[in-house]
């Protein structure tokens, strides 16, 4: 079973190295934790491009 997990993990890493992924997040919270300012409007949107081919 462990060998199958490693095979799948290596395959997943190869796929990640061939594509760019985008992470899209909407945050609608006020000051808390490390956040020092209230949000602007109804939500703050973040788009992050993850490029695994440059690892």
pLDDT tens-place string over residues 4-37: 888 888 888 777 777 777 888 887 777 888 878 8
Answer yes or no: pTM beyond 0.85: no
Closest among 21, 19, 25, 23 to 48, alpha carbons compared: 23
* CA nearest to 21, candidates 51, 53, 55: 51
Q: Which of 3-7, 38-42, 47-51 has the highest mean pLDDT?
A: 3-7
């Amino acid at each position: 079973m462990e060998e199958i997990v490693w095979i799948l993990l290596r395959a997943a890493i190869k796929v990640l190295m061939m594509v760019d992924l985008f992470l899209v997040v909407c945050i609608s919270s006020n000051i808390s934790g490390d956040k020092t300012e209230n949000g602007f409007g109804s939500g703050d949107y973040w788009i992050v491009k993850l490029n695994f081919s440059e690892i």
